[in-house]
Chains A and B, each alone.
Chain A
């Protein structure tokens, strides 16, 4: 199957700092990538849909000024958590849609964020 990478795999930061997470599709082009957040023992929550060359579409309740998404190329999307606070600590997972594979969604390994 298709491979999606995320970097970093985990990050610890101080409250008030910004954190950037990268999501790359390694062997296919992804016009659409998705960003999810998952708290312990809870289900995936879609935060936003990232479209190459255009603005991201945010789900209701997700602050677009806090979670900045950039999808500058067909293989890279970034999520920046601005002015992070302890309540932003979570498991952030990206996925990429492979148009060549019946539009299957493949997930990255996730980034664990801990804000102190």
Chain B
């Protein structure tokens, strides 16, 4: 079982819709959770981090964490074509980071 699991997609949503990206992790003692966006040919860039159960909002992005279910998600409101990218979920477990393989998001104009 992988440490971090993501659906590879592609996830296609129309412009203006809400995109919902999901991630599950295997280790209950994981402490910190991150979402990164990676455009084709570029390195990942940090979108959001979340450490406590519940929701965390930053502009059009909302991260949701449910430690009991070992589940973290990212919602993108009012999706734009420029949001089309691969989204990586990452989990920190003490000194180790684990990355999911990423979900490819396509936002259609």
Contact = CB atoms under 8 A, between A and B. Distances in A.
Interface of A: 1, 32, 34, 43-44, 46, 91, 93, 102-110
Contacts of B34: 104-105
A34 B97 contact: yes
Interface residues of B, number: 20
Contact of B46 (A1, A32, A91, A109): A1
20 contacts: A1-B46, A43-B88, A43-B100, A43-B101, A43-B102, A44-B44, A44-B88, A46-B97, A91-B43, A93-B44, A102-B49, A103-B92, A104-B32, A104-B34, A104-B49, A105-B46, A105-B90, A105-B92, A108-B43, A110-B42
B44 A107 contact: yes
A69 B51 CA distance: 31
B101 A102 contact: no
B46 A104 contact: yes
A107 B51 CA distance: 20
Contacts of B51: 102
B49 to A, nearest CB: 6
Given A43-B99, A102-B32, A107 B45 contact: yes
A110 B41 CA distance: 9
Residue of A1, A91, A107, A110 contacting most chain B CB atoms (<10 Å) = A107
A103 B36 CA distance: 15
A106 B34 CA distance: 11
